[in-house]
Amino acid sequence: DLPVQQRADAVTSLVYEANARVRDPVYGCVGAISFLQQQIAQLQMQLAVAQAEILCIQMQQESISLPLILEDMGSKPLVHAELFPFANYGSTSHAYGEAPKRESMWA
């Protein structure tokens, strides 16, 4: 026996399951649940991609603003010598915010 406060929910659930079985005799509501789980997985993947894109943009902005802050402080050579000893090695074309080109899913 079900408690009185759960009986309405039980009837609603039985009606939903019966209607799902009419629409899809093989899978019934299990097919709908599976479809929704797939949608959740896809949306979680899209969310992860969007969050990674946001993080990438934030990091690019920080790497662009750091040299400007150092220049404003007037100690650019001292900071480069002590904190960035690698600055003289190799190419500096990507050192200040020039990220490799990549496609955005939002463009």
Instruction: For 25-57, write each residue's pLDDT tens digit.
Output: 999 999 999 999 999 999 999 999 999 999 999
- pLDDT band with cut points at 50, 70 and 90 for residue 74: low
Q: Is residue 45 part of a domain?
A: yes
- pLDDT band with cut points at 50, 70 and 90 for residue 73: low
Q: Is residue 21 part of a domain?
A: yes
Given a contact cutoff of 8 angstroms between Cβ atoms, the answer to whether 66 and 59 are in contact is: no
Q: How many domains does the chain have?
A: 1
Residue among 36, 15, 8 nearest 23 (CA): 15
**Domain residues for 19?**
4-88
Q: Is residue 103 part of a domain?
A: no
Q: Is residue 66 part of a domain?
A: yes
Q: Where do we find the tokens 């802050």?
A: 69
pLDDT at 102 over 90: no
Predicted TM-score (pTM) of this structure = 0.50
Q: Is residue 106 part of a domain?
A: no
Q: Is residue 94 part of a domain?
A: no
